[in-house]
Structure 1
Amino acid sequence: MRIIISPAKKMKTDNDSFTHSQLPQFLDKTSELLEHLKTLTYDELKNIWKASDNITAVNHERIQKMNLQKNLTPAILSYEGIQYQYMAPNVLEKEQYTYLEKHLRILSGFYGMLKPFDGVTPYRLEMQAKLKHATYPSVYAFWGDQLAKQILDETDTIINLASEEYSKTITKYNDQAQIIRCKFGELINGKVKEKGTMVKMARGEMVRFMAENQVQTPEKLKDFNHSDFAFSDDHSTESEYVFIKG
């Protein structure tokens, strides 16, 4: 079984908590991406990133100085988004880290796919971005089916806690694995409504729940009850597990 999650835009460098265990599997491809990004102008990068001048300036400088093999942070500690805050990786125990290293995969526009203790450096590149590349017009085109092939070689069961932007790098090419999407929402007028921040919080808590309980089968996900969520058999299907708050 594998769990897929999205990255976060905001990142940090943390060399004090833990050291990374290995370099990312697709580092050669990341190097190729980096070399291409270095050839682009400030304005071209700003358009790719769809960012403010302040954010563009910071990341433009990062691109010029980036070293993919030095001053690295374990991926699970590098991302600072809401999902990662609620995952609370800094307070997990050793057996929980071991579980996540085996089961968790972080999808990334820049790195492709990461294990929690792969060493990474802060970057900015979303999966849906355009690339201004003669061969690969987009990040999706750059990665193609490589990420799906890798994870489908590892497992036949995938728990999807990623956004559509990232998860479709797997789902688009799947013809063999059981993929279960977890949906978190509130019941409003008989319909399950998802809200962005709440969903990100719940996804992080689900990852932590799986690590704390060493979950090995999809059936055990139904016991998830963090933040007043409960599994709804009435709203769920074999491919989508629905958790309703309240």
Structure 2
Amino acid sequence: MLVISPAKRMDVVEGPPFAQTRPAFLADAQHLARKLRSLDYDGARRVWRCSDTLARPNWERLTTMPEDMAREPRLLSPSVLTYVGIQYQHLAPQVMTEKELMWLSSHLRILSGMYGILRPLDGVIPYRLEMQAKLAVDGCRDLYEFWGGRLINAFLGGGTDVIVNVASQEYAKAVVPWAQRTGVPVVTCVFGEVRASDGRVVQRATEAKAARGTFVRWCAEQGVEKVEQLEGFSERGYRLNRSRSDAETLTFVRG
């Protein structure tokens, strides 16, 4: 199972493909939306840590968000198409074949501060709530504590035997430590360049996002079913560097 990060920007998309399923943690997402709604505008903005220009439309969405989240999936936006950003531009789900979308549905999960875990065709409402947001709820100091071990338990319940971590550190932190505690193997994919000054592999933020999206799309095109197949990724000039890889890390180096 591949796990990736969401994007901050979201836009409503009217299919096809249409959303087909409800998020696994829909009730929790509604609870978090109500918690945000219970704050005053300034309080919500402090949680969001964004400009007034970005905060206003998100505050307006909160007026009906908990109720809107429960609408029929087909009336909502499929998660993998709703996120807008570099990673999702390169993932390009809107031009995937039905077979590739089916692969995504079976092998990809999007981590979310609001929804916890999303399947690609789960119906969602655009929201703003990063995993690292300082939102205290139900006695929990933040969202990492709120979600706790429930996310990894969801993977275990779904029969996941290996997690392929293609997420940013902010989101990987919500799953990887729990996977390690429960003995679920995690393979983290790194996309970087060798720095001439010290020979270290460094990931450039913008390029890493493009690489992650390209990697997921390539996996869907190839119909990858085993970790060993991931080693063949060679898009955007990347190649697996075996000397910098091991059982827990696949390091793809560009150039």
Bin for the TM-score computed over the shorter chain: over 0.9
Q: How does 1:106-185 map to 2 (within 5 A)?
A: 106-133=110-137, 135-153=139-157, 154-174=159-179, 175-185=182-192
1:83-109 alpha-carbon deviations (Å, 9 max, x no partner): 100001011111110111001000000
The aligned counterpart of 1:201 is 210
The aligned counterpart of 1:52 is 51
**Alpha carbons 2:79, 2:120 under 8 Å: kept:** yes
Return the alpha-carbon distance in structure 1 between the equivalents of residues 238 and 15 of structure 2: 34
Return the alpha-carbon distance in structure 2 between the equivalents of residues 11 and 107 of structure 1: 14
Return the alpha-carbon distance in structure 1 between the equivalents of residues 163 and 140 of structure 2: 28
The aligned counterpart of 1:32 is 31
Q: How does 1:76-115 map to 2 (within 5 A)?
A: 76-115=80-119
**Alpha carbons 2:136, 2:143 under 8 Å: kept:** no
Quote the offset at 1:140 in angstroms.
Answer: 1.2
Quote the offset at 1:19 in angstroms.
Answer: 1.4
**What amino acid sits opposite 1:223 in the alignment?**
G
Return the alpha-carbon distance in structure 1 between the equivalents of residues 141 and 163 of structure 2: 28
1:34-90 alpha-carbon deviations (Å, 9 max, x no partner): 111111000100100000011111111011132113341000100011110000101
Q: Which moved more, 1:35-44 or 1:127-136?
A: 127-136
Secondary structure of 1:169's partner? coil
Secondary structure of 2:84's partner? coil
Return the alpha-carbon distance in structure 2 between the equivalents of residues 185 and 172 of structure 1: 23
1:174-218 alpha-carbon deviations (Å, 9 max, x no partner): 231110000001112221111001100000011001000000111
Quote the offset at 1:136 in angstroms.
Answer: 2.2
**Runs in 1 of length 4+ with deviation above 3 angstroms?**
none
The aligned counterpart of 2:237 is 228
**Alpha carbons 2:191, 2:252 under 8 Å: kept:** yes
Quote the offset at 1:133 in angstroms.
Answer: 3.2
Return the alpha-carbon distance in structure 1 between the equivalents of residues 92 and 55 of structure 2: 29
Return the alpha-carbon distance in structure 1 between the equivalents of residues 145 and 185 of structure 2: 24
Return the alpha-carbon distance in structure 1 between the equivalents of residues 31 and 173 of structure 2: 22
Secondary structure of 1:237's partner? coil
Q: Which moved more, 1:25-34 or 1:125-134?
A: 125-134
Return the alpha-carbon distance in structure 1 between the equivalents of residues 150 and 50 of structure 2: 28
Quote the offset at 1:17 in angstroms.
Answer: 2.7
**TM-score, with normalisation over the residues of structure 2?**
0.93
**Alpha carbons 1:156, 1:176 under 8 Å: kept:** no
Return the alpha-carbon distance in structure 1 between the equivalents of residues 136 and 104 of structure 2: 35
Return the alpha-carbon distance in structure 2 between the equivalents of residues 39 and 170 of structure 1: 28
**TM-score, with normalisation over the residues of structure 1?**
0.97
Quote the offset at 1:134 in angstroms.
Answer: 5.2
Secondary structure of 1:107's partner? strand
Unaligned segments of structure 2, at least 5 residues:
none
Return the alpha-carbon distance in structure 1 between the equivalents of residues 88 and 3 of structure 2: 13
**What amino acid sits opposite 1:69 in the alignment?**
A
Secondary structure of 1:61's partner? helix
The aligned counterpart of 2:201 is 192
Secondary structure of 1:173's partner? helix
Secondary structure of 1:172's partner? helix
Q: How many matched pairs?
A: 245
**Alpha carbons 2:11, 2:83 under 8 Å: kept:** yes
**What amino acid sits opposite 2:221 in the alignment?**
E
The aligned counterpart of 1:15 is 14
Return the alpha-carbon distance in structure 1 between the equivalents of residues 10 and 147 of structure 2: 22
